[in-house]
Amino acid sequence: MASPFTESARPAIQGRGRAAARMLALLGVLLAVVLGGAVPASAHAALLKTTPGESLTVRTPPAQVALEFSEGVLLSDDSIRVLGPDGRRVDTGKPHATAGSRTAAVSLRSGLKNGTYTVAWKAVSADSHPVAGAFTFNIGKASKTTVALPQQEAGGGIVGTLYGIGRYISYAAFALLVGVSVFLGVCWPRGALLRPMQRLVAGAWAAMAAATLALLMLRGPYANGGSLGDALDLGGIRDALDTRPGAALLSRLLLLAAGAVFIAVMFGSYAKREDPVERQDLAWGLGIGGVVVAGGLASTWAMVEHASVGIQTNISMPLDVLHLLAMAVWLGGLVALLTALFKGLAIEREAVQRFSRIGFISVVTLVATGVYQSWRQVGSWNALVSTGYGQLLCVKIGLVVLLIELAWLSRRWTARLGEAQVQVPVAVSKVLAGASAKGKGKAEGGGDGGGDSDSNGERAGQLARQEAALAKTEAKKARDADRERTGLRRSVLAEVAVAVVVLAVTTALTSTQPGRAATEQTTAGTVTAPVTTPDPVDVSLPFNTGGTKGKGDAEVTLDPATTGTNELHVLITDPDGNAENVPEVQVSFTLTAKKIGPIPVTLSKVDTGHWASTNVQLPIRGTWTMAVTVRTSDIDQITETKTVKIN
């Protein structure tokens, strides 16, 4: 049916469709790039045994290399890489797990020559912590090895990809849910009566609930290296719930249930209430409840992600919650504003200005907490450029700067904004809402109605659709006639588009370990350390865990700092130089350039403040990053890193 209304409505829909398609394509590419590259690798599963044994010499070339772990591990295609003396890969790829995924093996090519072979491995253990390491073995006799590990391929299996997408959707839906709710509650209460806004919030809630459920189901196969089919394994889900990430996901679900009540009240009794006193009372309850639910939801991330480990967790976790909330208020609010502008919902100038103020506060909060978290995660300028995490963070910072520039543009438009020219009466928007609800409800809706059916309902539906189309067209005309609103709409659209990308980068960041690069370093393999007489390495690492008696120095000696067996001593001293007793000290080594490690060192507590290991195996020469973690109380701990040259 070629009504003039549908005709004229089409270009707008098509235009929006194209924009959406572009955005989706962009998002898809981004997800593929950043999530694909950032396969979380390695954990608390300990490597118990290798075949062939570490540093051992075998007479005949083995058919495979096998690793036995203390618990189940998740492997990706590049989990085990075996490199010959010439640095070329000699494994056939695709390691396979057996014996309850506790044993991982990769087949080797036949006809291997004599020499020293390097095995670099990585995996994710059941507790989601990454484990990785490297060792060498010899065929026939030991030889020089010039191992330059090949570029890491993206991968991680369909489960890993889905898990990454689920995480992204959770973030985005959280931002929408909280941001649109705040927008409607604080900036634009009248908007809560409008169906498009309600749909936005309800959709966000549903998306977040679905994503959380999916993550909960995927958690098992993701952590244990199972297939997609394992997502339906109830036992696996039960096991996942016992882990901290699983518990956090469950709390998120429960908080979402509470959030549903909040949404129902906001769109129901609150939005419809006219009496200002009653509204005021409800507003208080909603405000407090909303803050609690939103804060709780945010903390389900803060308690399991980077903020919960490393230094100053007692500061970083609350700040992370703030960061997430500010992000949600800003980005979610932007989407709400964009929706209002696109649908021509005649949003008042005052509402936009109110959001502009809230947005400004959010941005300041975001930047302040973001700068703190960056310092905390990265620690040094060198790490910012030399690690994958740092590079990804640079990308994010660049995008955020762009975002803030766009926000400034939006603010200028907002300042010039006149009062809405066409006030779409509530009655019209109700018709609009009703029509779309009906249109959705009818399966046969959208067909050429003429003569098909005489039913009154059908006719009323058509009429409503026509009216809706008419209203839409008029709203669009009105909206396009308003120069300021058009300008604001464009700048907000740009903001939202950049925000979508920022969120994707952030998702990748949260699954990237500092030092484990998603980007291959161009300097890989160009180790120019001169061969000199072995000289022990002494490193003094001042630390401050933030707690009481949390300050001190970690004096680390690595002797002789060459490939092979090293002796490592850590001496923890208080600021006065006396040996200081601390509950835990951990040391690990990572050769970022060749993607080896972190190789954890099993330290033995020798005496007060004195930790040592006589068997630190560093397989290859190069500039390794040594990470020393000192825990001074149940909650206060810090990880300091330093590069050490291994000859």
Binding site for another protein (CB under 8 A): 536, 538, 540, 553, 555, 557, 559, 567, 569, 571, 573, 577-579, 581, 604-610, 612, 614
State both tokens at 327. 């992000």
**57-58 and 130-139 strand pairing:** parallel
State both tokens at 102. 């506790």
**96-98 and 103-107 strand pairing:** antiparallel
As a whole number of angstroms, the distance between CA 47 and CA 71 comes to 9
Cβ neighbours for 83, distance < 8 A, ≥ 6 positions apart: 89, 90, 117, 118, 119, 120, 145, 147, 149
Nearest to another protein of 261, 606 (CB atom): 606
Report the DSSP beta bridge partners of residue 613.
Answer: 568
As a whole number of angstroms, the distance between CA 134 and CA 599 comes to 7
As a whole number of angstroms, the distance between CA 334 and CA 355 comes to 9
As a whole number of angstroms, the distance between CA 306 and CA 309 comes to 6
Nearest to another protein of 292, 606 (CB atom): 606
Of residues 357, 498, 352, 359, the one with CA closest to residue 413: 352
State both tokens at 500. 């979508």
Task: Using DSSP, state whether 50 is helix, strand or coil.
Answer: strand
Contact in structure between 510 and 606 (CB atoms under 8 Å): no
Nearest to another protein of 333, 609 (CB atom): 609
Minimum distance of another protein from residue 54's CB (angstroms): 17
Of residues 615, 576, 582, the one with CA closest to residue 599: 615
15: Cα separation from own chain's centroid: 31
Nearest to another protein of 526, 604 (CB atom): 604
- Angle between helix 244-265 and 276-302 (nearest 10): 170
Minimum distance of another protein from residue 569's CB (angstroms): 5
Minimum distance of another protein from residue 561's CB (angstroms): 12
- Angle between helix 483-510 and 157-182 (nearest 10): 140
Nearest to another protein of 576, 634 (CB atom): 576
Contact in structure between 389 and 378 (CB atoms under 8 Å): yes
Nearest to another protein of 436, 573 (CB atom): 573
Nearest to another protein of 241, 539 (CB atom): 539
Minimum distance of another protein from residue 644's CB (angstroms): 14
Minimum distance of another protein from residue 571's CB (angstroms): 6
Nearest to another protein of 280, 581 (CB atom): 581
Nearest to another protein of 293, 571 (CB atom): 571
Contact in structure between 294 and 178 (CB atoms under 8 Å): yes
* Helix, strand, coil content of the chain in percent (nearest 5): 55, 20, 30
**537-544 and 64-69 strand pairing:** unpaired
Report the DSSP beta bridge partners of residue 565.
Answer: 617
Task: Using DSSP, state whether 193 is helix, strand or coil.
Answer: helix
Minimum distance of another protein from residue 42's CB (angstroms): 24
State both tokens at 60. 């005949």
Minimum distance of another protein from residue 555's CB (angstroms): 3
Minimum distance of another protein from residue 49's CB (angstroms): 19
Nearest to another protein of 14, 604 (CB atom): 604
- Angle between helix 4-30 and 483-510 (nearest 10): 30
Nearest to another protein of 332, 609 (CB atom): 609
Task: Using DSSP, state whether 453 is helix, strand or coil.
Answer: coil
Minimum distance of another protein from residue 600's CB (angstroms): 16
Nearest to another protein of 90, 554 (CB atom): 554
Residues in the chain: 647
Distances (CA, A) of 438 to 315, 426, 431: 50, 18, 10
